[in-house]
Every structure is written in C-alpha cells, then in structure tokens.
A and B are shown apart, each in its own frame.
Chain A
Amino acid sequence: MSAAPKPRPAIVPAPPRTRVTPGGTVRVIGTLLATNYSFWYGPNQALHDITVEAKPNAVTALIGPSGCGKSTFLRSINRLQELSPRTRHTGDIAFDGESVFARSVDPVELRRRIGMVFQRPNPFPKSVFDNVAYGPRVTGAARERDLPRIVERALTHAALWDEVKDRLDDLGTSLSGGQQQRLCIARALAHEPEVLLMDEPCSALDPIATQKIEELIVDLKREYTIVLVTHNMQQAARVSDYTGFFFLGRLVEFGTTQQIFTSPRDERTEAYITGRFG
C-alpha cells in the first residue's frame, strides 16, 4: 500500500465491563477460559487438550496453518461446531466462570452473548437495516421504535454508518465486500455481546478493506473480548495482544503477541512465524 496509514488517535482503554454478582462482588465479564478441551469428528481427533484464556479488552489471535483446528476451536466457543453430525468433546470452555456446556446454558442464549463474524461476509438477502435489526428483533429485547437507534449505533460502532446511512433500504448483499463484512460485524454488535469471535474476517477482502477491519478490531477491543482466527501472521502481529499458535490440533505456544513474535519458545512456532512452513 502506498498510502501511509493515517495516525490513529491513541486508544483510551475503557474501564472493563463488569457485573455485580448476587453476592455483591463486582466481576469483570467477557472472560473465556478453555481447559483441556479436546474435540472429535467421528473417530478423528481435531483438538488435543487445548488450554487457553481470552481476556476482556484484548485481542487474542489464534494462528496456525490450515486445518490445524483453530476454526474448530473458535466455533466450539459458541457451540456452533457441535451442530455437525457425529462430533464430541471432552474438557471444558468456561465463559465468565460458567461452563458453556453446562446443562443450564441454552446455546441459543449463549450465542446472543457471543457474537461471531465469519470468513466470508454472509449478510442476509435483506435490507441493510433489517440485517442489523435481525438480532434485537428476534430476541424481543428491543421495541420496534427503538430499532432505528440500535441499528444506527451498531453501524456506527462498525464504522459503516457514514457509508450506508442513505442506503439503509438497499440490499445488504449489494454492498462491497468490505462493507458487507462490516455489516456483519454491526449485525453481531447489535446484540451487545460480551465477546466477538472472528474467523479470518479479512481473508476474502482486499488490502484497503482489510486495513479498515483491522482498525475496527483495535477500536472494538475497548469494549469487547475479541478472539481472532487468522492465517495472516502480520495481521496477528498488528492487532492482537495475545497470540496462540495452533499446530496439528494442539496449542503449541501461547503468550503475549510480542513474546510470540520476538522470542518464541517452541521451535515449531519459530519455524512457522519465520515462514519456514505453513
């Protein structure tokens, strides 16, 4: 890219979102913690004993070659992966201290608290407005007359409002690829989730659109826990605070992004980030 990226205003970390528990203690919300999580497709084990944490107000990047299980792990968090036939898991993933697999947890409810953005932009074949209003409308959380405000806020959050405010009735599918992806982010944000899972959100986008999404990710981490799966190591280095390296279904190494990229402890991590394989 020839255009120099314009300097971004310094990020002021917002105070972490909290919730007061019935006992009266104030707890930070939006923490994900996987412990010894393993996953099988039929007889094939795709994930081996993954133990990793994603903290609030931070971007946790998961990198690794194709087929190493990082998407499977991401989709396990909001229990989307278990919809595939003949799968099973052991171990646990806890969200704010409660297992997402607990009997008392309704996966539908869970997915409203954990937003997800996919590899390819997948807006519904509906208007821009309806795409964003979809979530709040179905949960019944918002009254119809509140929707315009909610939609505007979500679109503003996703840095798309200025581009689409005059095209709210256009089909979401008529936007450009990068705009579609930001529309999908807005759609996920409309629920006001605590966590945002992003599965290679830029892999189908051009460099300019990618840059916009990356800036957005950095902005969004002020309010959300973000888990980002990416093929692009530069991207992980640019936007994330913590990085985990997946290889053959195992989490080989996890640490701060700076540590992983400057002084990896495992030789496989080093080989991968220096481009010797993958």
Chain B
Amino acid sequence: MKGRLIRRLTGSLMTGLTYGAAAVAVLPLAAILGMLIVKGAGSVNLDFFVKSAVPLGESGGGFAYAIVGTLIIVGLACLVGLPIGVGTGIYLAEFGGGWFGFTVRFLADILNGTPSVVIGIVVWSLVVKPMGHFSAFAGGCALAIILVPIVARTTEEMVRLVPNSLREAALALGYPRWRTSLFVVVRTARAAIVTGCLVAVARVAGETAPLLFTAFGNQFFSTRILQPMAALPLQIYDYAVGPYDDWHRLAWAGALVLIGLVLVLSLVARLVVGRGARRHA
C-alpha cells in the first residue's frame, strides 16, 4: 500500500513538472504577444495598411510600403527557394544515398545553422556589390538561401515517411522510377511538404539581418525589384531605434502585424496538414 502511495505521488509530481515546463516555455511567447497587443493594437488601423511614411513632423502615416515590400521580397524568395528546396529534399530522400547525397545533406545542415547575418553579407558581396546598389532582388536571394536548407531537410523527412510499400506497388505496376517518385511518393507527402514550406516561409518573413545588407529599406513606396525596397522587419528596426514617439508607435504596430502574418501562415499550414491527415487516415 505504501509503495502505491509513493508511486502515485511520484506520478503526480512528474506530471506537474511537465506542466510547469510547458508553462515556462509558453510564457515568453504569451508575454511578447501581450506586449505587442497592448502597445501596438491601438495603432493598427486602416491608415496603417494603406498609407506610407509621412514627412518628418507630420503625424500619422502607415506601413503600406513595408508590408508590400515584405510580400514582394518574400515572394521572390519563395519563387527561387521553394522549387530548389523541395527538389533537393526529394533528391535526398529518394536518391541521395551516395556520397553526393551525404555531402548535400551535410552542407544543408551547415547552411541551416549559419547565422542569417552572414548570409546577408555573402549576398551583399555576390549580388549587391556587382550590381552597384541595394535591391529587393538581393533581399529575395538572401531569404531564398535561408529558405532552401530548411525546406530541403523538411521535405526529405516528409518524403521518407511515405511507406516503402507504396513505392514498390508503383514500381511493380511498371512505373518508371521518376514517375514513382513524383506521382506516388511526392503526391502522398504533398500536404506535409506544403506545411514544411509554409513554416519555413513564416520563418524567413521575420528575418531582419540579411535584409539590412541587401534590400536595405526604402522610405517610399516602391515595387521595383531592382531598387532598394522597404520590408516590415527593416522598418520596425528603423522606427524602433528612431527618436520620435510616432515612430515607436508604428514600430509596435508593425511588429504586431508581422507576428500576425506569421501566425496566419502557421495556421494555414496547420489546416493543410489537418486535411491531409484526415484524407490519409
């Protein structure tokens, strides 16, 4: 009887500890969100989304140019990074058994761990310097380089989860190898791959450091990708360190919108996965 009591006590204690750990993990996130809502929600209004910066001294204005800039730069990054990343992931999972696959996997892991500011500097010297000026294109390249290894590795994991019996079924039906990979394996892992991509995109959307050296930022509304372009993280950074209260207010609002953007992407990812999981249940 006594042993049983101790066992139950230990059980409760351990359960309590895991709850505590979870709470501690969530606490900073909740604090950040709370802070952003308190400080920023007041400034998120229609003006914020449709207006651009106003001249110094005037109050008001918005982040429209930064929001559009972020969408364009992240869009460029996706255009370049997602196909390469997904392709690499499929290669690694389906054919990457040899030394080349090993090398690619190893390099992807290293790239994954490279500080994003380093990638910014690299793109600066490879793209910005030869072109002679900062540009949204360079920003997109920097984000794409961050995107590729994350997408490649998650895609690889997801494709590996497809049961081998499905591959064999397709091969035994007289499917060529490439067709098996593309239409059976990848299609089965589709939902999971999309999720991986969305999560990765959400991550790069908030990157600041690599954009400092590449997209640079812009005080004006611009959609020309070969010119410097504003982006939300950059604008938040600029305004947060600026001397004006109005700027600080906008920076808080910008941060809230950025988090909101990431949140929406993650939610979409969840939704996609949920539907995929039900389909394959």
User: Which A residues are within 8 Å of any B CB, using their own CB?
Assistant: 78, 80, 83, 85, 108-112, 115-116, 118, 120, 122-125, 134-135, 138-139, 171, 173, 184, 187-188, 191
User: Contact: B188 with A139, CB < 8 Å?
Assistant: no
Smallest CB-CB separation from B163: which chain A residue?
Answer: A122
User: Contact: B173 with A80, CB < 8 Å?
Assistant: no
User: Contact: B171 with A122, CB < 8 Å?
Assistant: no
Please give, as numbers and ranges, the residues of chain A lying within 8 Å of B176 by CB-CB distance. 108
A165 CB, nearest partner CB in chain B, Å? 22
User: Contact: B175 with A138, CB < 8 Å?
Assistant: yes
8 interchain pairs, CB-CB under 8 A = A112-B174, A122-B163, A123-B169, A124-B170, A124-B184, A138-B173, A187-B173, A191-B174
Known contacts A108-B174, A115-B172, A188-B172; 20 additional CB pairs below 8 A are A80-B172, A108-B175, A109-B174, A118-B168, A118-B169, A118-B172, A120-B165, A122-B163, A122-B168, A122-B169, A124-B169, A124-B184, A124-B188, A125-B279, A135-B173, A138-B175, A171-B279, A173-B280, A187-B169, A188-B173
Please give, as numbers and ranges, the residues of chain B lying within 8 Å of A191 by CB-CB distance. 173-174
Please give, as numbers and ranges, the residues of chain A lying within 8 Å of B97 by CB-CB distance. 85
B92 CB, nearest partner CB in chain A, Å? 16
Number of B interface residues at 8 Å Cβ cutoff, please give it. Answer: 18
Known: A85-B97, A124-B166, A173-B280. Is A135-B174 also a contact (CB below 8 A)?
A: yes
- Complex CA gap A109/B172 in Å reads 10
Please give, as numbers and ranges, the residues of chain A lying within 8 Å of B163 by CB-CB distance. 122
User: Contact: B174 with A139, CB < 8 Å?
Assistant: yes
Smallest CB-CB separation from A193: which chain B residue?
Answer: B174
User: Contact: A78 with B173, CB < 8 Å?
Assistant: no
Please give, as numbers and ranges, the residues of chain A lying within 8 Å of B170 by CB-CB distance. 124, 134
Please give, as numbers and ranges, the residues of chain B lying within 8 Å of A139 by CB-CB distance. 174
Q: Is the interface of B mostly helix, strand, loop or mixed?
A: helix
Asked if B7 is at the interface of the complex by the 8 Å CB criterion, the answer is no
How many A-B residue pairs have C-beta atoms within 8 angstroms? Tell me. 57
Asked if B179 is at the interface of the complex by the 8 Å CB criterion, the answer is yes
User: Which B residues are within 8 Å of any A CB, using their own CB?
Assistant: 97, 163, 165-166, 168-176, 179, 184, 188, 279-280
Please give, as numbers and ranges, the residues of chain B lying within 8 Å of A187 by CB-CB distance. 169, 173
Smallest CB-CB separation from A135: which chain B residue?
Answer: B173
Please give, as numbers and ranges, the residues of chain A lying within 8 Å of B166 by CB-CB distance. 122, 124
Please give, as numbers and ranges, the residues of chain B lying within 8 Å of A173 by CB-CB distance. 280
Known: A85-B97, A118-B165, A120-B165. Is A125-B175 also a contact (CB below 8 A)?
A: no
Please give, as numbers and ranges, the residues of chain A lying within 8 Å of B175 by CB-CB distance. 108, 138
* Closest A-B pairs by Cβ, 5 of them: A112-B174, A116-B172, A122-B165, A111-B174, A122-B169
- Complex CA gap A123/B170 in Å reads 10
Smallest CB-CB separation from B175: which chain A residue?
Answer: A138
B145 CB, nearest partner CB in chain A, Å? 32
Smallest CB-CB separation from A125: which chain B residue?
Answer: B280
A183 CB, nearest partner CB in chain B, Å? 11
- Complex CA gap A187/B170 in Å reads 10
Smallest CB-CB separation from A83: which chain B residue?
Answer: B171
User: Contact: A138 with B174, CB < 8 Å?
Assistant: yes
Smallest CB-CB separation from A173: which chain B residue?
Answer: B280
B197 CB, nearest partner CB in chain A, Å? 20
User: Contact: B171 with A80, CB < 8 Å?
Assistant: yes
A47 CB, nearest partner CB in chain B, Å? 19
A120 CB, nearest partner CB in chain B, Å? 6
Please give, as numbers and ranges, the residues of chain B lying within 8 Å of A123 by CB-CB distance. 169
User: Contact: B165 with A78, CB < 8 Å?
Assistant: no
User: Contact: B184 with A111, CB < 8 Å?
Assistant: no
Please give, as numbers and ranges, the residues of chain B lying within 8 Å of A78 by CB-CB distance. 172
- Complex CA gap A184/B173 in Å reads 10
Known: A85-B97, A122-B166. Is A138-B179 also a contact (CB below 8 A)?
A: yes
B118 CB, nearest partner CB in chain A, Å? 37
A81 CB, nearest partner CB in chain B, Å? 10
- Complex CA gap A267/B132 in Å reads 86
Smallest CB-CB separation from A187: which chain B residue?
Answer: B173
Which of A109, A111, A124, A188 is in CB contact (< 8 Å) with B171?
A111
Known: A125-B280, A138-B179. Is A111-B168 also a contact (CB below 8 A)?
A: no
Most buried by B among A122, A135, A184: A122
A207 CB, nearest partner CB in chain B, Å? 23
Please give, as numbers and ranges, the residues of chain A lying within 8 Å of B165 by CB-CB distance. 118, 120, 122
- Complex CA gap A111/B171 in Å reads 8
A223 CB, nearest partner CB in chain B, Å? 18
- Complex CA gap A115/B166 in Å reads 15
Please give, as numbers and ranges, the residues of chain B lying within 8 Å of A118 by CB-CB distance. 165, 168-169, 172
